[in-house]
Structure 1
């Protein structure tokens, strides 16, 4: 799978003044909203969403010339797993293409050796400059004398008992031994110059994924499973340096003692469990361990020589694949999505220093005379040719105005001369229907790109490698789309407020003269809206103002005090207008009428009530109705028992009842309380004597 460029995919849109509602492109009306808005890009998240060819950017919102990368495809390979640099400056690349090792020098790439394995997952320069290559799925080590090869089958140097996957190799220059991190038994092997392996550490984890050796002889290894980072001070003598909230410790690097001796590690959390690839009889081997196609979450941490941990980088959008130190001792990480190279300074300023066309940074070297970046999907060798150049171009992510917009002034802050351009279109991914890039602006000015929903901005460094772009802002005005009220909700609405069968019994409703009105609005261009409300009684024609004179409602809710209103059924009309954002001749309006709203602040009355023995008879009448509930209790008791009306259903303004209450009121003299509710929750209570 090849990497889709960030500038050509749907993006999260950031707008400085408002967060626009993503809406389908509408037929453009003539009215234009007055409110001017801005796309302002001045943070790392704002600036990194697009194409970063030949530029770098940092977490302070600065964009400047970055690594100038060459591009040499690696034939017949799709993935790069490992890399080393030889004393003569040549780079060896371990790939997932039939376990081939490629040699890159002088802009040319050729096959140095073949292992016949699924992948060369790790390499190290060891005894006398020989290169040892670790592979899977047979757990073999291969040796290239002096790092040279004729393109033929490499010689097996050692086989590691019980190992199927060799994930990491590290050479101890002082002790003249090689360490191999393996799976699926989670063992760390120590191999001498004769190729004799010994188990140096047997962990409880299924895989040890990484290994590194400090110049003081300390050995570190990281696991897959619980994400543990171990420190070993001798055979079998391991302590857990850190337990990550992660699935694996993918790579470890130890800085030289002269640079502080800190230990750096990258750890990842994935969306699906890890499964090592297996050779199949019916098809070609998978070039990568089986994981979800979705990127994981990565973190870079540093441990001081005293063991104090500091988290330097974290990314919830991608996992980290590769790790290394630069000439300045700063750590660099290669990502598993977007194919980018990140670093972080001592004062915690994060930088993206390279953005490749490929999906992953499989391996890289950024220290010494030979510097390069090797990528996966597809496999490409990028030699670092310097900083800046004619190809240094920053392209923003696709910016979405939500509706068709007219673009105004493009401004930026910079040190040094830059040239900025724009293009626009009505698809969320730039295609042939987009406008061409506009004429370059050497100073802030008006944009010439035609009105459209989407826009992109790009900056060219040309021959100004020291120029720094600090902030970009583009003003725009969208078409004035009408806000539409989709629905009105009234809290005490008596009819049709809830679908389905309602629960019977339960707590009695509580009366209130306040009616809670709320409404939902589609506001495509996010104009500031004002709402007006009217009411009318059912059967009448005129609408009357619900709001007081001069009262301004801008929220999508209002409380209507009906204390002084006559009882009856009403309807409410809500109007939305964008007059606060537009002059009178441009104003757009929309209104919607509610369902029936019951205004009832008067309780029902007992037309009759009598108790003969234990036979209770009576009639309850309400002005609006329906009567919704009749209950009986022994006065002073908190236990109320329901009674049904004579016709069995509470559905009329007048309800008669005739009930034997002997099961509720025992023999003897009692005061019996009877209460009745209407549908608005208004209640009346009467007492009768029981003898």
Structure 2
């Protein structure tokens, strides 16, 4: 099967660009330092570790058995046939190698549809070549009939809602149940049962029979329990993770798989449990699970969706606790140990199967399979090794191991995009016992136009790579004890010109050294080369460019031009970007011109400033050679400057007329100041001293300023605000 990596692993792809003097700036390097983390391709029979290693794994074949159902548990019969169970409705089916689904008869379930929403949660093989199964939603336990191998018969019906695990020990069958935290011991011959232990948890999630002792895992306390005799429960260890999903015997101790809950039990939930428990204990003797059974409170309806993260521990000699692996944003659904002590974990919601070893010197977390479904629900063992993996999604699927292939596999990277045609050079890698192949093409997806696979020698270029290709792909074939860590492949792309995206000339500013303008720009290089810049200016009608900034190139995307040192006029600015720092021998450049801007170091001229005593009217003409007049204002007797409008009412020309009547002038001496400012910031102030023998006949009130309107025959009195005065 093909393994496809999720988006969160794709984010770890390491693409590194470096500079080489041999190929100048256009030499790049495609580097995969940690293939086990990158998710950079597809894997056939290859597993990868959290330390970045690849190694031969196992090939599996996807078998789609039934749509609209889900496999949750399974086991192998003695004859080697795979049995799987799930729901809903509940089912147990025999799965043959051809992908045929053969449902088996299940006796003991309600025939009126009341068990339609339940599911087979546990299916186990026990002594005597028998299989047993437990159900959620009904509390039924069934056993396969020896006289009818295609039929399961009811062994018993426990007064519980769910049977979560079954284990055989000392000739009896033990059942982990919920939501009352009870463990039942069941007689395999008669089907009679008794409560063997009462835990504080609401659900008992897992059981293990080891060295004559029954071990149990709490579903919401994080406690690992030991039950030696009926009714005696001892706590062996408490885990911070609240739910113990699986307990498995190991040659070095016990493997315990746990999950952290998103919403742990609280006091309110515990109170609900107690009330629910009282309802059950008040029921009449012999009362079974039927439609009258009190529904459990919401807090008891725990599901895999409540699992936040998972972990696996090894409890060794003298109860030494070692954490073997931590799963972030994943939870454990099943755990099994093979004949060599390797631990396999099936998980959700990623649908992955992991493998970890108990030996501290080999403690890597290996991803063995990705099942492309939300939940990898079960690891099915046979003869001491994993033979199948079950998945739950929108269909019932099993992934069955292909024994013919042995330990061999292949990894193919995703096609790598160099963005533009390039020559591909030496390919180097770290590993042993592998064969490495490469091919190139011009399309994102390999097709007939791509080159054929070529076997590579470590650190040596190939003839095919010497052509210009935009895309590349690598394949690693592995067998036996091969290992592979990562690779780097150098390529030289054709040098491209820099791109200047914008060029901005700022407004005139005054500094200690005179007038200046701030110049800024945005430039990029398609090759990622380092850039340097040069600036030049010229007058509008000139053909001669004058360098700005001296002989040293500019290295930042900004510069300050001292425009106060330039003659007045209209100018263009030219910016030139060069990749010389990365391409000393054959640099490429790009240039961009700015819009025209004005250098005006002069000031406006105020001409013919006259005050007519009879009418109280001030007249003047303001002229600038290059710039539009941008501001006019007047001040009387040293008072505040008050903005005024020109005679035509708009500041839009290099020459403006001033015609206004000043209010409130009395007999005596006065000073009148007129200020004009051009767009370049040049400022001129002219002052006029007058002596009045009498108050002007057209004097206005103090709240008004008389502005002559050229469109009218007589002066018009306008409010100060309308006349543009600053209050």
TM-score category, normalised to shorter length: 0.5 to 0.7
Larger radius of gyration: 2
Counterpart for residue 496 of structure 2: 481
Residue aligning to 2:429: 412
Matched residue, 1:178: 175
Q: CA deviation at 1:518?
A: 0.9
Give the match for residue 275 of structure 1. none
Residue aligning to 2:545: 543
Unaligned 5+ segments in structure 2 are 107-114, 187-191, 226-230, 263-302, 691-701, 703-727
Distance 1:580 1:113, change over 3 A: same
What is residue 694 of structure 2 aligned with on the other side? none
* Aligned position for 2:482: 467
How far residue 211 of structure 1 moved from its aligned partner, in angstroms, is 3.1
Aligned counterparts of 2:490 and 2:681: Cα–Cα separation in 1: 55
Question: 1:475 deviation in Å?
Answer: 1.2
Superposition pairs of residues 433-472 of structure 1, within 5 angstroms: 433-438=449-454, 440-441=455-456, 443-447=458-462, 448-449=464-465, 451-462=468-479, 465-472=480-487
Call closer, same or farther: CA 1:153–1:303 in 2, change over 3 Å.
closer
Q: 1:476 Cα shift?
A: 0.8
- Report what 1:517 is aligned to: 520
Provide closer, same or farther for how the CA distance between residues 474 and 644 of structure 1 changes in structure 2, counting only shifts above 3 A: same
Q: Distance in 1 between matches of 2:168 and 2:659?
A: 99
Cα pair 1:79 1:362 within 8 Å, conserved: no
Higher strand share: 2
64 and 309 in structure 1: CA distance in 2 versus 1, 3 angstrom threshold: closer
CA pair 258-75 structure 1, distance change in 2 beyond 3 A: closer
Q: 1:593 to 1:576 in 2, by over 3 A?
A: same
> C-alpha displacement at 1:566, in angstroms?
3.1
Matched, 1:596 2:596: yes
Cα distance 1:446–1:3, how it changes in 2: closer, same or farther (>3 A)? closer
Inter-CA distance 387–298: structure 2 relative to 1 (3 Å threshold): farther
Q: How does 1:109-148 map to 2 (within 5 A)?
A: 111=102, 113=104, 117=116, 120=119, 122-123=121-122, 125=124, 131-134=132-135, 139-146=137-144
SS of alignment partner, residue 66 of structure 2: coil
1:425 paired residue number: 441
User: Is 1:252 the equivalent of 2:245?
Assistant: yes
Contact kept in structure 2, 1:51 and 1:396, CA below 8 Å: yes
- Name the SS for the 1:436 alignment partner: coil
1:62 and 2:53 matched:
yes
Contact preservation (8 Å) 2:37, 2:50: no
Secondary structure of the structure 2 residue equivalent to 1:404: strand
**What is the CA-CA distance between 1:157 and the residue it aligns to?**
5.8
Matched-pair contact (CA < 8 Å) for 1:333–1:343:
no
Q: What TM-score, normalized to structure 2?
A: 0.63
Taking the aligned partners of 1:445 and 1:619, their CA distance within structure 2 comes to 82
1:398 to 415, 419, 441: 415
Shift of 1:75: 2.6
1:225 maps to which residue?
none
Task: Quote how far apart the aligned CAs of 1:420 are.
Answer: 0.7
Paired position in structure 1 for 2:366:
352
Equivalent position SS for 1:513: strand
Aligned to 1:265: 258
For residue 145 of structure 1, report the CA deviation from its aligned partner: 0.6
Q: How does 1:236-635 map to 2 (within 5 A)?
A: 252-254=245-247, 264-266=257-259, 299-301=309-311, 312-313=325-326, 319=330, 322-324=333-335, 326-327=337-338, 328=341, 332-334=345-347, 336-337=349-350, 339=352, 341=354, 343=356, 350-356=364-370, 358-359=372-373, 361-365=376-380, 369-376=384-391, 379-383=397-401, 385=403, 389=407, 391-415=408-432, 417-438=433-454, 440-441=455-456, 443-447=458-462, 448-449=464-465, 451-462=468-479, 465-492=480-507, 513-521=516-524, 523-549=525-551, 551-582=552-583, 587-600=587-600, 624-629=626-631
Gap change, CA 1:212 and 1:426, over 3 Å in 2: farther
Is the 2:336–2:379 contact (alpha carbons within 8 Å) kept by the matching residues of 1?
no
Q: 2: distance between equivalents of 1:268 and 1:662?
A: 83
Measured against aligned partners, the alpha-carbon deviations of 1:59-97 in whole angstroms (never above 9, x if no partner) come to 33322222x234262433577542244684765433458
Three-state SS of the structure 2 residue aligned to 1:446 is: coil
Q: Secondary structure at the match of 1:392?
A: strand
Please give the alpha-carbon distance, in whole angstroms, between the structure 1 residues aligned to 2:562 and 2:622: 27
Shift of 1:540: 3.0
Whether the 8 Å CA contact 2:508–2:515 is kept in 1: the answer is: no
User: Structure 1 length as normaliser, TM-score?
Assistant: 0.66
Contact 1:617-1:658 at 8 Å conserved across structures: yes
Distance 1:211 1:441, change over 3 A: same
Which region of structure 1 is more displaced relative to structure 2, 552-561 or 679-688? 679-688
- The Cα of 1:625 is off from its aligned counterpart by 3.5
